[in-house]
């Protein structure tokens, strides 16, 4: 129990550690959350973990959704659980004198879990009053659910076990949204989503699902627009259900790369090319105040 308390206290301290540091030409703005857990025992248990990071575009997409993790477990019986969870939002800008500005940024969630559970009804007496004389009976079959989403590449993976009598599972996930840019013209990024499962399930119902929609562009996640959702005309769809006793191994990875080069129009004065020769975007910037030659 002491090990669990120490790990949770460390997680509480680290979750709020966001630091913007300017060292010469380099500006960094980082948030890191570390969670390490070890639990072994018997009784009734319920755990819930939820992380929602923003997409890594530090300037344009503040508040836009990025990598997401949701993890839920409950049941009665015995449990032997090990979890290592890390969530990061990293921003670094290098502004060397007389050279191109380089920006590297990413949002990332990774988790490794080794979980073994065996169902059994449990009767537990608590305290020294009424519930000591009238013990509480817990009789809950085992359930586990892990869902990960990566909003800009429009990727979703889902794994769920219900009504099981025994679960022995190794799980690894990685959800990463990364950007790299040099000055204004060149932008490159990648959306990386991975789930690896090795498990033995006794008398349970297992669901595994994957959805991949049309990826958004680098400028925005646009997750509020229905046309960009994975469940409307998905590019990739996996929907699997198994009921009974199974050994399952899955290795699922989706990589969505981005590359954007912006070609800027040369500036022409009104006396060389004229206002009518400018792109519409530049005309709108001047409104009605364009000077005459």
Does residue 6 register a pLDDT over 90? no
Percentages helix, strand, coil for the chain (3-state, rounded to 5) are 10, 60, 30
Does residue 123 register a pLDDT over 60? yes
Does residue 3 register a pLDDT over 50? no
Would you state the pLDDT for residue 5?
A: 37
How far apart (Å, rounded) are the C-alpha atoms in residues 150 and 178?
11
Global pTM value? 0.79
Write the pLDDT tens digit of every residue in 190-235: 999 999 999 999 999 999 999 998 877 666 665 555 555 666 678 8
Q: Are 215 and 284 in contact (CB under 8 A)?
A: no
**CA separation, residue 46 to residues 9, 122, 146 (Å):** 19, 14, 14
| Percent of the chain at pLDDT exceeding 90 | 50
How far apart (Å, rounded) are the C-alpha atoms in residues 100 and 229?
36
The three-point CA angle 19-59-30 to 5° equals 20
Does residue 91 register a pLDDT over 80? yes
Does residue 18 register a pLDDT over 90? no
**281 or 125, higher pLDDT:** 125
How far apart (Å, rounded) are the C-alpha atoms in residues 140 and 74?
8
Tokens found for residue 7 = 């790990």
- b/e 221-236 (16+ beta carbons within 10 angstroms → b): bbbeeeebbbeeebee
Does residue 11 register a pLDDT over 50? no
Task: Tell me the DSSP string of 12-77.
Answer: HHHHT-EEEEEETTEEEEEEEEEEEEEEEEEEEEEEEEEEEEEPS-TTT-TT-EEEEEEEEEEEEE
How far apart (Å, rounded) are the C-alpha atoms in residues 149 and 189?
17
Over residues 115-123, mean pLDDT: 96
Over residues 7-12, mean pLDDT: 40
Write the pLDDT tens digit of every residue in 224-266: 555 556 666 788 999 999 999 999 999 999 999 988 776 665 5
């Amino acid at each position: 129990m002491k090990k669990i308390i120490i790990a949770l206290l460390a997680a509480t301290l680290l979750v709020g550690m966001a630091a913007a540091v300017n060292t010469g030409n380099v500006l960094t703005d980082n948030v890191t959350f570390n969670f390490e857990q070890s639990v072994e025992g018997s009784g009734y248990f319920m755990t819930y973990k939820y992380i929602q990071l923003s997409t890594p575009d530090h300037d344009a997409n503040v508040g836009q959704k990025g990598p997401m993790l949701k993890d839920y477990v409950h049941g009665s019986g015995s449990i032997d659980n090990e979890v290592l969870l890390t969530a990061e939002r990293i921003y670094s800008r290098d502004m060397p004198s007389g050279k191109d500005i380089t920006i590297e940024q990413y949002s990332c969630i990774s988790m490794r879990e080794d979980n073994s559970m065996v169902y059994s009804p449990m009767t537990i007496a608590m305290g020294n009053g009424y519930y000591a004389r009238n013990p509480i009976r817990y009789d809950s079959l085992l359930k586990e659910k892990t869902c990960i989403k990566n909003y800009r590449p429009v990727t979703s993976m889902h794994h769920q076990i219900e009504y099981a009598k025994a679960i022995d599972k190794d799980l690894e996930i990685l959800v990463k949204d990364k950007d790299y840019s040099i000055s204004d013209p060149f932008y490159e990024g990648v959306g990386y989503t991975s789930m690896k499962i090795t498990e033995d399930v006794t008398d349970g119902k297992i669901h595994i699902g994957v959805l991949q929609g049309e990826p958004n562009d680098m400028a925005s996640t646009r997750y509020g627009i229905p046309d960009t959702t994975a469940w409307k005309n998905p590019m990739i769809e996996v929907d699997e259900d198994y009921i009974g006793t199974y050994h399952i191994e899955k290795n699922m990875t989706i990589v969505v790369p981005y590359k954007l080069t912006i070609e800027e129009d040369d500036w022409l004065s009104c006396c060389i090319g004229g206002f009518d020769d400018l792109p519409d975007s530049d005309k709108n910037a001047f409104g009605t105040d364009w000077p005459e030659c």
